[in-house]
Amino acid sequence: MKTNLSFIKTARDKIQLVNQKLLPQKLEYVVCKNGTDVAKAIKEMVVRGAPAIGISAAYGMYLSAWEATKKNKKLNIELFQKQKQLLDAARPTAVNLAWATQEMLAVASHFFTSDAAKAKDAQIKLLLSLYERALEIHNDDAERCLTMANNAVKYLVTKYPKEKYNILTHCNTGSLATGGIGTALGAIRILHEKGKVNMVYADETRPYMQGSRLTVYELQKDKIPVTLTIDSQAAYLMQKKMVDAIFVGADRIAINGDVANKIGTYSLSVLAKAHRIPFFVVAPQSTFDKTIATGAEIIVEERPAQEVLEIQGRPIAPKVPVINFSFDVTPQTNITAIFSEKETLE
């Protein structure tokens, strides 16, 4: 199954990232030639979505090595450690970022301790190994998206059979946020392909409007029926029995099943529980953080006040103090099931 969009174009000496801050009005690309460029793109939300951030960071690690080689600098493990630190700091909540940079660091570490590091063409071999690993991370994510999305759809139609479904989703979890068809949005795409979607309700997802700008854009491109709704209307839609299930993604999942995701996810889970509506999380294994026991240990990013006080540079409120948590944590007790490419957790 294919989509009509991708967040990235890749080459040996650069990547081009769709500037998601400009969608849907403009389709423009930001060129990144090293890890510093990629870190800036991640921090400024040119690219967003946990899997897409991880993929971009993997290429960023490779590109830093490529650039250093072009400048006749000798590659060493310190370069990769420094780049990992830089990239990881760009957005601390999404675990895919640190996972991907660790995978790339592992390639470099293994190389420098092997006989290959002593060969005449050592740097070329290392560059090839790094590029191949970044490409694997990218392609593997596409395969994972397909598998987890199919797992989610199979569960839904088996446990909650209906002729057609009204699905509510939050933020953007599609091909602009992943290497493939998406996580939660991937499940919606497959459900649509099976003729099982009546309507998708997309939350605007304040303050960055990833729902209205990106999710609606993606679904329109794929001709999937979509209706935009403001975040605070979700409860009323549920009360009116207009929602059959909720599908969201995740940026980090603790050992106990607590989930960090875009701000507003926790609210939806509380509402879903109150209205007895199934609440599903679709996310790859790379989102599972085996180093933290519960969601209480997740570092939740706080972003600039400007994102709330302005929309695309235009002021919409007086200059006052702002609370702008980018994510919230949904307890496992509010989640019906979590689907990954390997398992279903109930």
Active site residues: 251
80 φ/ψ angles, rounded to the nearest 5 degrees: -70, -35
Q: Which sign does the torsion angle of CA 28, 92, 292, 60 carry?
A: positive
- 338, β-bridge pairs: 281, 345
Give the whole-angstrom CA distance, residue 320 versus residue 98.
Answer: 34
Kindly report the length of the chain.
346
Longest CA pairwise span in the chain (Å): 70
Q: Which amino acid is at 239?
A: Q
Of 146, 115, 130, 155, nearest in space to 63 by CA: 130
Of 335, 183, 224, 343, nearest in space to 270 by CA: 335
Angle between helices 35-43 and 77-88 (to 10 degrees): 10
Give the whole-angstrom CA distance, residue 138 versus residue 66.
Answer: 18
